[in-house]
Amino acid sequence: MSTDLMPNRFTPGEATIPPRESELIARRDSVLGASYRLQYRRPVHFVRGEGMWLYDPDGRRYLDFYNNVPSLGHCNPEINAAMAEQASRISANTRYLEPRLVDYAERLVATFPEELNRVVFTCTGSESNDLALRIARLTSGREGVIVSSHAYHGTSAATAMVSPNLGDAVNLSPAVRMVSLHGPAGIPEEQAAAFFEQQVRSAIADLNRRGIGIAALLFDSIFSSDGVWVDPPGFIADGVKAVREAGGLIIADEVQPGFGRTGTHMWGFERHQVVPDLVTLGKPMGNGFPIGAVVGRKAPMDRFGATARYSNTFGGNTVGIAAADAVLAILHRDRMLEHAHAMGERLKVGLEHLAKLHDGIRGIRNAGLFCGIDIGLDGMGGASRRAMALEIVNLMRDDGVLISTTGANEDTLKVRPPLICQSEHVDRFLESIECALKKAVAQV
């Protein structure tokens, strides 16, 4: 049974920790629950953030190339000012009439295909996925859910039961079926669509045979936890069609790829030319302030609302709406999608150049500013590839650049900087990964 749930974590005794941080770790351990983890072999200790940078108590700065939560930069002054102004007047909930809530809801749904014209607000992506599952199960009258084989969709009891990424110790629902992706399965891209459709149809058949039926296909449209499998665009479309034919709903989890990260589209599902029934939002929606949402078609939203109650005290609170409204305004005003696309291309070209110069990079996949970099040498086994990827992550941490790993074997570097990153930040990242790559290869 797998219990190594966070490979890129601090393990006591693995590295020398300065006294100040050792004391703080000891205090954490004496009061916080054991489920918490610290990242990196030598945990990072931050006291301030600004834009692309995080600062430790000694003033050393670290380039954040991992954090998609403050997608418009740490401590964005415009967003902070919007929250402060709203908090100085009133922080209320959705049970009271409030114009800004409606204004933002109208602006948000305007970024979606016209079929998706209703929104319900939550606090987190986990709550969003939890609610979307409730809606899908009630409106379909079935329980079955199809997810990718290493998916992560949240921390609530319901979402943990559809998140194989959480490890063998977390039981999946008996109504869950996992489907493999072409990349991890070694299937060529030209066969990706047929492979995905076949997997989905087999899962539907099994659910039907067991009397469970299909309620939803739930997918992260960039398959980030599976290793960032972004291409070919549209490979999920026939699988989506199969679910609809069987009476199930389509839920696109946009918590990681949403709000322009892919560069070419506001929402990751748009790259695949499908229109889901429900879309779940979280993390970057408020640039760090906890706010999420479910955006969906009118019919399932109406059916759910007529027979069930969803009342969330903090979901859609006025301070969160102020933050989210500022985020959306900046995304449009500063043409952040075009910027993310341009920086993503610069990142990809730089990585491809490094791959030609040095051993150790087996594959590069990106959509805008979301990138997966497969690590390993020819003939290297899975454990060794994973160790090499973690070594690179920690060498870069020591160099002041933050990334992490992903994928079933954790041998893929996960790179997703704030969308505001500039050319000099991309170049600094490339310089750091090249140095770490050479050191990691030399140690093999």
**Helix axes 318-333 and 99-109, enclosed angle (nearest 10):** 40
Q: How many residues does the chain have?
A: 444
Q: Quick check: 70 and 76 in contact, CB under 8 A?
A: yes
pLDDT band per the 50, 70, 90 thresholds, residue 5 = low
Q: Quick check: 52 and 388 in contact, CB under 8 A?
A: no
| Mean pLDDT (the chain, rounded) | 95
Q: What token pair was written down for 102?
A: 């409606």
The residue ranking higher by pLDDT, 311 or 424, is: 424
CB-based contacts of 89, cutoff 8 Å, min separation 6 = none
Mean pLDDT score, 101-112? 98
Mean pLDDT score, 358-377? 96
The per-residue pLDDT for 214 is 98
3-state SS class at 228: coil
Tens of pLDDT, residue by residue over 209-241, are: 999 999 999 999 999 999 999 999 999 999 999
What is the rounded CA–CA span in Å between residue 411 and residue 384?
A: 9
What is the rounded CA–CA span in Å between residue 20 and residue 208?
A: 58
> Of all residues in the chain, what percent carry a pLDDT higher than 70?
99
> Would the CA dihedral through 130, 136, 139, 143 be positive or negative?
negative
The per-residue pLDDT for 35 is 86
Q: What token pair was written down for 143?
A: 């329980």
Q: HSE (CB half, 13 Å, CA atoms) of 64?
A: 22
pLDDT band per the 50, 70, 90 thresholds, residue 4 = low
Tens of pLDDT, residue by residue over 342-365, are: 999 999 999 999 999 999 999 999
Q: What is the pTM of this model?
A: 0.95
Q: Where are the domains of the chain?
A: 43-72+334-441, 76-332
Tens of pLDDT, residue by residue over 34-66, are: 888 899 999 999 999 999 999 999 999 999 999
Q: What is the DSSP letter of 314?
A: S
- What is the CATH class of 76-332? alpha beta
Pick the CATH number of 43-72+334-441 from 3.40.50.410, 3.40.50.300, 3.90.1150.10, 3.90.79.10: 3.90.1150.10
CB-based contacts of 294, cutoff 8 Å, min separation 6 = 119, 120, 122, 128, 131, 132, 135, 278, 279, 280, 281
**Within a 10 A sphere around the Cβ of 401, how many other Cβ atoms?**
25
Instruction: Tell me the residue type at 21.
Output: E
Tens of pLDDT, residue by residue over 201-215, are: 999 999 999 999 999
Mean pLDDT score, 377-382? 93
| Beta strand spans in 213-331 (E) | 214-220, 249-253, 278-281, 292-296
Mean pLDDT score, 403-408? 94
